[in-house]
Structure 1
Amino acid sequence: MSATPPNPDRLVLVESNTTGSGRDFCDRARARGLEPLLLTRDPDRYPYVREDAVPVRVIDTADPEAVLRECRSLGARAAGVTSSSEYHVATAAAAARTLGLPAPDAEAVSRCRDKAAQRRALARAGVPGPVFHEVRSAAEGAALAREAGGTVVVKPVLGSGSDGVRACTGPAETAAALAPLLRGEPGRALVEEYLDGPEYSVETFDDRVVGITAKHLGAPPLFLETGHEYPAPLPAGVEQAVAETALEALHALGLGWGPAHVELRLTAAGPRIVEVNPRLAGGMIPTLVRAATGIDLVAAAVARAVGEPPATAPVRGGAAAIRFLFAERSGTVALVSRDGARTSPGVVRAAVTVREGDRVEVTHTFRDRIGHVVAAADHPETAARRAEHALGLLGVLVASEGEVTVPAD
């Protein structure tokens, strides 16, 4: 890592991921001789901030004007403004554009984040996706489910990580899933056709495809991502069709600057868009891309944000896979074991994100992830087997309230 000069230029980060790439953005900024500056409402949400001595300014990041004022206060020292958080990419883009700094089209990003607006834009352009309806009442959604006669998908118009997304069978399930989504702002949600088929994501940078990720989902009715392989083992013709559909979606939405993450289902009728995210992928996918190909998508995103050329050409042709460890019950973490996973063949990363004594609450969302393993190999299938084997060696014992645990001799 290069030494940071006195009074370096700042890369402003508007909030962050709580795990994964948020910390990486700060590391890559420092590697370029920049000082990261995190704007946040609550620094305690990010343990790495204290551990890595990341400079912080506490402001109301939900207020775009407050973010802009803070960025302006830096004057010429603001080299770029960006975010690794789904919820703040549009605010960061708007601030950067106002200051004349590199950024995607803020209006396009905002439209894309509203999943109803995104669906309408894709439909107008003829990009294949599910039949969808925007609803403002549970009764309206129940009527649509009754008319559909099969499984539908209920989805919030704002959010990330499949939070609030649920497959529903019948009017009663649909109404129950919609009720919590419609209580607060913005008071609307989506009811969509269920797309049957395996799920993939296309990782793009600017207007080109970096690669395609195979995604693994947990049991219905939820859509929790349990693991990924990169690159996806697809026949050449199918790979081309998936990639072309993703690029059509970017074009329809006015995107094509910096990173994007396009999720699709490969149905009997061909690739169909699940959703487009105007940011880097979550779920540690940038880590897989780097382990497999040497492409550092976080470093590329930082470079693009400060107006420097990104490096997105592969330097090797391997594969990588990740599997996530989920909390299966609420309680207190009594024991953590990761050594066996770390020394398992092909493993490049094995982590537990909780510590002994931490309280764990099962939420049936991506927040239930308490660990992961990343394994590399020459082929995706081998990487997947290695990751699955290592996951079985990653141990977290959660004790229920009042339960006494005795470590094995």
Structure 2
Amino acid sequence: MQVYLLAMKPTDSVGRGFLPAARRLGLRLTLLTDRPDAYLGHGTDAAVRGPADSAPGEAPEDEVRWDGVEVLRCDVGDARAVIGRISAHRAPDAVFTNSDHLQTQAALAATYFGLPAKDWRAALRTKDKAEMRRHLAASGADTVWSAEIAPDDAVAARLRTLQVPYPCVVKPREGVASEDVFLAEDAAGLARRCEEIRTRRPGAALVVEEYLPGTLYTLETVGDADGLRPLGGFRTLLSPPPHFVERRMTYVPRHPEPVTGTVLSQLRSLGVGLGACHTEFVVHEGRARIIEVNYRAVGDHGDLLLAELLGVPLFERVLELHLGAPLSDGLRPNDGAAARIDYVCAERAGVLSSAPAAVDENAAGLRLAYRPLRPTGERHDLHHTNRDYLGILRTLGPDQPSVDRAADRFLTSHRWEITE
């Protein structure tokens, strides 16, 4: 069966998750991307240039192979280009993406070819943070004060028209990974942050919304045409304000039923169904309120940890959903396991001069895996996003105290040194 996977830059979710899953299922996978050169030398097998079983008229310079997978150049941000590229190649059995940026395009392409597809309107609503707030309010699911600063709006003039409740949060309308997301305590701080973002992102649309207090959690779901199923979620520890960088996620097999019910109801209101979905929400005084919805599998190795602790081939099951299979009964929360994932963050700009290598440990019922994300000797700026991650530690065991002790022991016994 032929699966087209839309992607931008290489990610571990694809390289370590969906790509090997497609191989195990015996699928023929073609990766469409606007940056094929990014896949050269990235992965377990170096990608190479050359014909990739191309159709007549396709230029070899638009093709590479990545870990044996056919990679074709395509303007994946344009649904028409995606449809044209697929139509001129091989007939598809599924069109899929795990990218935040490409869900609407993949949904439209799958719909065009009559394949199992996410509702493109749900994909758009979840990606566009302003539209998500408007839709939730209009449907009666939840109302959060929010306002949009359009690309052609003058920031200062637009802010003068708003009755902003402080503290508030400002962020790009279609941003990801806490990039340029800030807490603002007052009008002066909000104006300053808006201008900062516009300097880095000229013409970007922004969203200003009320700050929702509470403990941050996630709900991980999978769905088919008949409904959504929760797989549990995570309790998330963030960096200190004004930034919102994830520092740790601890597995929660089951949230309280009223909380899960509220979040699932809001997801259904948005139209979320087919495939994987990663939803961030806060709970304050027992009330759950959505922060944002990422209509894809949880990232930053959270999906790798989830697959491991659930004990089922999660990536395969997600791909099968996009091929029209029903939800597997094996996709259930794991009430008998504890797990956490730690993100080692750079605290300042500079050169990473010393850091541990990759580690895998399996003893006394505990499994620990550390993966470095940045090579030593390279200099990096400080971004206050997941681009500051130096490495990721995944720890899984029979109970939370054992997991916490093992993770803390690893983190305190290793050093990550940054020099100017």
- TM-score of the two chains, using structure 2 as the length reference: 0.84
| Residue 86 (structure 1) aligned to one of 83, 94, 100 | 100
Question: What corresponds to 2:379 in structure 1?
Answer: 359
String of CA shifts for 1:170-216, please: whole Å, max 9, x gaps.
11110111124456676432111111111001111111212121111
Is 1:145–1:170's contact at 8 Å kept on the other side of the alignment? Answer: no
String of CA shifts for 1:300-325, please: whole Å, max 9, x gaps.
22111222345343485312100011
Is 1:289–1:295's contact at 8 Å kept on the other side of the alignment? Answer: no
String of CA shifts for 1:251-274, please: whole Å, max 9, x gaps.
111121111111111112611111
Q: CA deviation at 1:369?
A: 0.9
Question: What corresponds to 1:67 in structure 2?
Answer: 82
Q: CA deviation at 1:343?
A: 6.9
Aligned pairs for 1:328-347 (under 5 A) are: 328-338=347-357, 342=361, 346-347=366-367
| Residue 275 (structure 1) aligned to one of 292, 314, 322 | 292
Question: What corresponds to 2:185 in structure 1?
Answer: 169
SS at match of 1:337: coil
Is 2:232–2:254's contact at 8 Å kept on the other side of the alignment? Answer: no
Q: CA deviation at 1:69?
A: 1.2
Q: CA deviation at 1:290?
A: 2.1
| Residue 235 (structure 2) aligned to one of 208, 214, 227 | 214
| 1:158 has 2:159 as partner | no
Question: What corresponds to 2:113 in structure 1?
Answer: 99
Q: CA deviation at 1:129?
A: 5.0
Question: What corresponds to 2:63 in structure 1?
Answer: none
Farther-moved stretch of structure 1 (377-386 vs 97-106) = 377-386
Q: CA deviation at 1:223?
A: 0.6
SS at match of 1:392: helix
| Residue 325 (structure 2) aligned to one of 308, 320, 323 | 308
Q: CA deviation at 1:138?
A: 2.6
Q: CA deviation at 1:98?
A: 0.5
String of CA shifts for 1:314-367, please: whole Å, max 9, x gaps.
485312100011123333333332367757873432100122333323211111
- Structure 1: unaligned runs, 5 residues or longer: 1-8, 401-409
Aligned residues: 386
Query: Aligned equivalents of 1:315 and 1:279: distance in 2?
Result: 18
Q: CA deviation at 1:163?
A: 1.3
- TM-score of the two chains, using structure 1 as the length reference: 0.86
Question: What corresponds to 2:62 in structure 1?
Answer: none
Query: Aligned equivalents of 1:66 and 1:349: distance in 2?
Result: 40
Is 2:167–2:183's contact at 8 Å kept on the other side of the alignment? Answer: yes
Is 2:170–2:181's contact at 8 Å kept on the other side of the alignment? Answer: yes
| 1:391 has 2:407 as partner | no
| Residue 375 (structure 1) aligned to one of 360, 377, 395 | 395
Query: Aligned equivalents of 2:122 and 2:318: distance in 1?
Result: 18
Query: Aligned equivalents of 1:298 and 1:140: distance in 2?
Result: 47
Q: 1:14 is matched by which residue type in structure 2?
A: L
Label 1:265 to 1:216 Cα distance change in 2 as closer, same or farther (>3 A): same
Label 1:276 to 1:13 Cα distance change in 2 as closer, same or farther (>3 A): same
Farther-moved stretch of structure 1 (113-122 vs 171-180) = 171-180
Q: CA deviation at 1:394?
A: 4.5
Question: What corresponds to 1:25 in structure 2?
Answer: 18
The percentage of aligned residue pairs carrying the same residue is 29
SS at match of 1:159: coil
Q: 2:409 is matched by which residue type in structure 1?
A: H
Q: 1:197 is matched by which residue type in structure 2?
A: G
Query: Aligned equivalents of 2:68 and 2:347: distance in 1?
Result: 33
Is 1:129–1:273's contact at 8 Å kept on the other side of the alignment? Answer: no
Query: Aligned equivalents of 2:148 and 2:333: distance in 1?
Result: 44
Q: CA deviation at 1:15?
A: 0.8
Q: CA deviation at 1:71?
A: 1.2
Q: 1:231 is matched by which residue type in structure 2?
A: V
Farther-moved stretch of structure 1 (185-194 vs 281-290) = 185-194
Query: Aligned equivalents of 1:274 and 1:209: distance in 2?
Result: 18
Q: CA deviation at 1:288?
A: 2.5
- Structure 2: unaligned runs, 5 residues or longer: 48-65
